[in-house]
Structure 1
Amino acid sequence: MVSRREFIEQHGATCSNWNWSWSFVNHEKRFVIFGIWQDGHAEKVGLILHKHWETSPKGRKNNGYGQAIEHIRLIEQEGYGLKTFPMVGAARNPDEGELSASQITYITPELTDARLIVLPDGWYASHADDDFETIPEAVDEEFWEGESFKVVVNGYERNPDARRKCIEHFGAHCQACRVDFGKTYGPLGQGYIHVHHIKPIHECGGAYQVDPATDLIPVCANCHAMIHRRAIPLTVQELRAIMQSQLTTIDPHEL
C-alpha cells in the first residue's frame, strides 16, 4: 500500500514537515492538496480545516495549522486549485470531543478536484464536478453523452465538462425563477444548481453530441422537479408562464 508521503510526492507536492503537515502544495502546477476525513459517510461538503484546530484540546499549538492557513491563502488570493483525497482515522478521544486529533488509519490514494467553501467555523471542500442533481435526466471539445449502463434501470452517462460550459454560458442561477443560491446562502450555496437536459437523454437513442448552450439549461431543484411533473417535460418558458400567471392570481392579503 502506498504511503501518504509517496502518494503526495507522486503528484509533485510537498510540505514543511511530513510528520505534522495536514496540507501540501505543488507550486509548479499551482494547486493545494488537503485530506478529507471520511467519518462514517460521505458528505457533499467535506471539512478540510476547522478553526478549532489551531490548538489541541489540551492547549498545545498544532504545527500544521499555520501551514494550512497559508495554503488556504494560496487558493483564495493566488488562484491555486484545490484537490482532496479521502482519509480514515482511528476513533477520536471521547474526552476531547469530535474535533480532536485522530491518527490516520489509511488513505485512498485518489485526488479529486474540489471547490473551496468558507463557512463561519472553517473551510470545506465540495467536489468541483458535483452536479447536485437528484432527477435522473441529465460533455473533449465535442460533447457526447447517453451511453447507457446497467444498474436496476438504465442510467445515462453525463460529461461534467458540458455542465461547466452550460453554467459558464448562463451563470449559476435558475433560468426559470432566477434564484441564485450563492446570493441567498453565501459560499455554502455558491455554484449549487441543477442542469436540465432540454431533450431527455433516454429519447436520444444513445450517445450524441451536446451543445451546452442550446441543449442544457441551469434550473433550481424546485423548478427542475416541476418541469418533470408532466410526462412530456415542460419547457422553461412554459414554467415561467405558469409562475407569472400565479403572480396575477395571488391575494395580496396572503403575502
Structure 2
Amino acid sequence: MGVGDITRPSVLAALREYDKLGEDAFLERYGFDKARAFYLRYDGKRYASKAVVGAAHGYLDGREPLQASEFSGGESAVARKLRALGFTVPPRRSPDWTRDEVILACDLVMQNGWRQLEDTDERVIELSGLLQLLPIHPHEVRSDTFRNPNGVARKTADIASQRPGYQGQPTNGGEMDRIVLQDFLDQPEHMQSVAVFLRDAARSESFQQMPTTPDEEQEDEGNDAAAREGRLLKRWHYSRERDRALRQRKIKAFVKSNGRVYCEVCSFDFESFYGVRGSMFAECHHIVPLHASGDTTTTPDELILLCSNCHRMIHRGTPWLTPDELRELIAAKMERGE
C-alpha cells in the first residue's frame, strides 16, 4: 500500500471529485491542508498534489484513501510519481533568469532612472506577462510563481542595487545581473536596441515560430555567457540566415560576380580545401544585425558569405563584430606575424 500503487485513471477520478466538491470540501473530506509548495496542473486548473494522491489511492480496487500521515509529499514522492504518470507538477523554484530576461528587466530599470520598481507598477505587470511569453523555459520547469510581478519587481531591485553609486545595501543578485548591468552602462544604445527587438518579437510571437535545431545547442557550447547577445536573439538571427532559398540566391549572385565561393573575411574556399564536397558552400550572415535593422525582408545584398570559423567569431562577443571589424582583427594579427 502506498503512493507507488496509484494509476493515471485513479488520479483522474480523484480530479473529477476535486472539481465536483471544490477544493475546500475535497481537502476537508480527505483530511489534507492546502498545498504549500507542489500543485498538480491539469486542464488549465491546479490541484493540491498530495491530497489528490491520497484520494486517488482510494479509487484503486480494494484500497482505501491514504491519510496525510501515511505518506510524505514533496519532490521525492508525490511530485515524482505524478510526473511519471504524465501529469505536470511544477517545481518549487523557477529556473534562473537568462540573459535575454535580464536584458528586458535591466532596460526597464534604466527607463525608470535606475531605480527599482514595485510589483504594482503597470510596467512590471506588463513585463511579467511578456517574460511568460518567451519560449526559453519549458512550462514543466516553471513554478506557480514563474516570473510573476513580485518576482520581476525583485529582479529590478537586484539590478538597481548593483549599480555603482547605489546608496544602500545591495540585494543578492546573480552574476548575470551584474554582467548585463555593466553592458548597459558601457553600451546603452546597443543594449536598448536588443531590448526593443526582444520585446517586439515576443509580442508578435515571432520567437514561438522559430524552429529549434540541434545546431543551435552546438552554437552555444563553450561560449562565455557574458559574451552572448542572448539565446533568443541568436536563434532568430541564425534561423533567418539558414533560409535555404535566400542562401542559394546569395551564392549564385556571388559566383556570377566572383567566379567562385569563398569567405568574404578570410578568403577560405571550401571547394579548394574539401574538393567536390565543399562546392558552392558557405554560411550566410546579415551584414547589419536584425535587431539593428529591424525585421525586414532580407535581400542577397544584405548578406555576406562567411566560413564557419569567421561566422562563429563574429557572434562570439557582444556586441557582435561587423565583418570589417573581423577583417581588421585578422589583418592586425598577420601584421604582428602571429
Which category of TM-score, normalised to the shorter sequence, fits these structures?
Answer: 0.3 to 0.5
More strand by share: 1
TM-score of the two chains, using structure 2 as the length reference = 0.28
Larger relative contact order (CA 8 Å, sep ≥ 6): 1
TM-score of the two chains, using structure 1 as the length reference = 0.36
Structure with bigger gyration radius: 2
More helix by share: 2
